[in-house]
Amino acid sequence: MPNYTTFSVLFFVRKHHDETKKLFIYARITVNGRRSEISLKRSISVNQWDASKGRARGTAPKSRILNQYLDQVYNKLLDCHKQLSSENKVISAQSIKARFYGSDDHQKTLLELMDYHNSHMKNVLKPGTLKNYYTTETYLKEFLKRKMSCNDISLKQINYRFVTDFEQFLRKYSAKVSRKTCGNNGTMKHLERFKKMLNLAIKLEWLVKNPFDNFKFRFEKNERQYLSKRELQLVESTEFTSSSLQKVKDIFIFSCYTGLSYIDLKKLTIHQIIKGIDGSNWIYSKREKTDETVKVPLLPQAQNIMNQYADGIKSEFLFPVFSNQKVNKYLKEVMLQLKIKKTITFHSARHTFATTVTLSNGVPIETVSKLLGHTKLSTTQIYAKVLENKLSEDMMLLKEKIGS
Q: Helix, strand or coil for residue 1?
A: coil
The tens-digit pLDDT sequence of the chain (404 residues) is: 445 578 999 999 998 877 677 899 999 999 999 999 999 999 999 889 999 999 999 999 999 999 999 999 999 999 989 888 887 778 889 889 888 887 666 678 899 999 999 899 888 888 888 999 999 999 999 999 999 888 988 888 899 999 999 999 999 887 666 556 788 999 999 999 999 999 999 998 888 889 999 999 998 877 778 899 999 999 999 999 999 999 999 999 999 999 999 999 999 998 899 988 888 899 998 887 777 888 999 999 999 999 988 876 677 888 888 999 999 999 999 999 999 999 999 999 999 999 889 988 888 889 988 888 888 887 787 776 656 666 677 778 788 888 86
CATH of domain 110-214: 1.10.150
Q: Strands 281-286 and 293-297: what pairing?
A: antiparallel
State residue 87's pLDDT score: 74
**Alpha helices (H) along 177-299:** 184-203, 229-237, 243-256, 262-266
Dihedral over Cα of 159, 163, 169, 175: its sign? positive
State residue 89's pLDDT score: 78
Overall pTM surpassing 0.75 (yes/no): no
State residue 27's pLDDT score: 95
3-state helix, strand, coil in the chain (%, to 5): 55, 15, 35
Tell me the CA distances in angstroms from 56 to 42, 46, 69, one per residue in order. Answer: 12, 10, 11
Amino acid at 8: S
State residue 101's pLDDT score: 83
Q: Helix, strand or coil for residue 29?
A: strand
Phi first, then psi: give them for residue 275, nearest 5 degrees. Answer: -70, 125
Q: Are 231 and 340 in contact (CB under 8 A)?
A: yes
Do the domains at 110-214 and 229-401 have one common CATH topology? no
State residue 331's pLDDT score: 94
What class has domain 229-401? mainly alpha
Domain boundaries, the chain: 7-101, 110-214, 229-401
State residue 37's pLDDT score: 94
